[in-house]
A and B are shown apart, each in its own frame.
Chain A
Amino acid sequence: MRVVEKRQLLSAQEIDRTLQRLAHEIVEKSGGAKDLAFIGVRRRGVPLAQRLAKIISNFSRVDVPVGTLDITLYRDDLSTVGPQPVVHSTDIDFTVDDRDLVVVDDVLYTGRTIRAAMNGLFDLGRPRRIRLCVLIDRGHRELPVEATFVGKNLQTSETEIVEVHLQEIDNEERVVLVDRVP
């Protein structure tokens, strides 16, 4: 089973433009940046959340706090085969109670990751509101989850994988569509 690159979906500049647009949209639809907080879903949701917060702080002078959430312990799709995935830390140094949270992730697919993220957040307190911001929505939802803020919508097939490469983690900056071939 190998993986071949099919096409590039977003270049580095396109990613940046998308994030700029998303940042403005979030502030607009939140009545300002005051009570906002971002929760970056490990791994790649984290740098995305940090970038959004930086963009917002640049144009509005408001510092939106960013927390990181590891959803490993909240997943419902841990298989009965293979070893347990490694757990990482959740690092949210502000209270979640009564916050206007925006969960940030790179790709929205089945929705299970976001459901796990919500379970995790409810263990920490009672947010006022949770909305979702993703760079790519690739469809194929298995749960009733929707993203309020979407960078790009995509039609994909089930064998395809959307790979988001970010400088902070992958040392390059682009989004590609790859396919599994036998």
Chain B
Amino acid sequence: MLQRLQHLLEIESLTTEQISFILDQSKPFQEFQRHPLKKLATLRGKTVAIAFFEASTRTRISFTTAASRLGADTMNLQAEASSLKKGESLLDTVRTLEAMRPDGIVIRHSSSGAAAFVAERLEIPVLNAGDGTHEHPTQALLDALTLRDHKQKLNDWNVTILGDILHSRVARSNIHLLTKFGARITLCGPAMWIPRELEELGPCIRRTTNIEDSLRGADVIIVLRTQTERIHEPALPVDEYVLGYQLTKERLQLAAPDALVMHPGPMIRGLEIDPAVADGPQCAVLEQVTNGLAVRMALLYHLIGGAPVDAPHPAKERSNASD
């Protein structure tokens, strides 16, 4: 029996069994997205607090829709937070939400460790929708589901992650997940964004600043968003980035012929990705979005449905339903 997860805060501490379980459980919910009537009653009466302290449209809508299709209600908090802004603390904000008795909380925040911070202080399940530059676990899970659907298995694929790895929580979560299954990771980006310490995040990770080198033989390419504007750091001119690191059609040809291209979104066509590649047959971006819904429904179903983890197990249920 799988160890019961109370929260989903990060990929780093999950086992391959737990990850496979989540991906397997996402399959019925993938199929569900094709039903004409997309409304279940399985989480009816439950409320999910969607607390986003950082701007996001896609992930927020994905979680809200996932909850809603399961039959749950949502409480939606959207608050821009920056370290300079005074006002109600994160702790007080989530405690206020908790006082309205939601059955779980999905949180996105600009501080690394914010999801863990909240999980330590609340009694309800917490799902991390992205904390600072630390992790974005549901993104890695939906990427893995997409990859598994295309390649049948998660194993020692050659995975290239392109872009600003240092500041990417998507990269970190993907690195943690894929290395657990034996993937060989190549990190590629401008030198200041691929520090040496990234190689210590897992076995079989190498870095290069040369995009052609990174793409040769790649089975999977994950293209990251690029923020060329930074606080506290000099910006890299856009044209420099395009010159060195845009995934163009020509560069893509260096990879394996059936290489899968993924992007967490939103894409900036013409910056990190050539529009021809974005619209091309190898790019799975839209599938990723659908899979995001499936993964999030599976997670909400398991974490928020059912009892709190420490509740006592029932005496045998009065039912003839087997399994």
Contacts and interface: CB of A to CB of B under 8 A. Distances in A.
A88 B28 contact: yes
Interface in B121-149: none
B301 interface: yes
B302 A84 contact: yes
A119 B302 contact: no
A82 B313 contact: yes
Interface in A53-108: 70, 72-91, 106-107
A73 B28 contact: yes
A74 B40 contact: yes
Interface string B304-322: 0111010111111111111
B322 A43 contact: yes
Contacts of B307: 79-83
Interface in A1-56: 1, 42-44
B247 to A, nearest CB: 34
A107 B35 contact: no
B309 to A, nearest CB: 8
Given A1-B315, A88-B28, A74 B323 contact: no
Interface in A135-150: 138
Nearest to B44: A76
Contact of B314 (A74, A75, A81): A81
Give the one of A73, A112, A162 with max B CB within 10 A: A73
SS of B interface (majority): loop
B313 A81 contact: yes
Contacts of A119: 41
Contact of A79 (B302, B317, B323): B317
A180 B317 CA distance: 12
B302 A123 contact: no
Contacts of B41: 74, 76, 119
B315 A162 contact: no
Interface string A117-136: 00100111100000000000
A36 to B, nearest CB: 22
Interface in B36-70: 36-42
B36 A125 contact: yes
A123 B317 CA distance: 27
B4 interface: yes
A123 B39 contact: yes
B318 A70 contact: no
Nearest to A124: B35
Interface string B1-28: 0001000000000000000000001011
B28 A90 contact: yes
A42 B301 CA distance: 19
B306 A82 contact: yes
A73 B320 contact: no
A124 B314 contact: no
Contact of A77 (B298, B301, B319, B323): B319
B306 A83 contact: yes
Contacts of A70: 28
B320 to A, nearest CB: 4
Contacts of A158: 318
Interface in B199-229: none
Contacts of A85: 323
A141 to B, nearest CB: 12
B29 interface: yes
Given A73-B28, A81-B311, A113 B37 contact: no
A175 interface: no
B239 interface: no
Given A72-B42, A80-B306, A83-B306, 10 more contacts: A73-B42, A74-B42, A75-B42, A76-B41, A77-B319, A80-B307, A85-B323, A89-B31, A91-B31, A123-B36
Closest 6 CB pairs of A and B: A84-B306, A123-B37, A109-B320, A84-B305, A87-B28, A81-B307
13 contacts: A74-B42, A79-B314, A81-B314, A82-B306, A82-B313, A82-B314, A83-B307, A85-B323, A89-B27, A90-B31, A113-B321, A122-B37, A125-B36
